[in-house]
Structure 1
Amino acid sequence: MKELVKNQVYELRTKSEITQEAFAEAIGVTRQTIIAIEKGNYTPSITLA
């Protein structure tokens, strides 16, 4: 599950050609949260997913 979320977040962000900062702001989280998700260190709750 972690790997799936990690890959989907990274793919969506890079396909949209936006920065981690812009992506984080668009979905209402911090840049650090996006970094942690992309590294597989954090699995978002269903609310974020």
Structure 2
Amino acid sequence: MQDRKYHKKKAAVEKFIKKHGTIDHSVILNNVDVNYETLMRILDELRNEGRVS
């Protein structure tokens, strides 16, 4: 699943979180083109990497 589309979505989610300062799932799902399962995987990776608290 670690392909180019996934990395683009991960970057978009990270950019959205930094810009808006929220990790609210519903807000991210409504504003970024990503499904719930992928969003959960991205948030888990960002937390493990220390990029998101």
Between Structure 1 and Structure 2, the one with more helix by share is 2
Higher relative contact order (CA 8 A, sep 6+): 1
Query: What TM-score do you get using the length of structure 1 for normalisation?
Result: 0.41
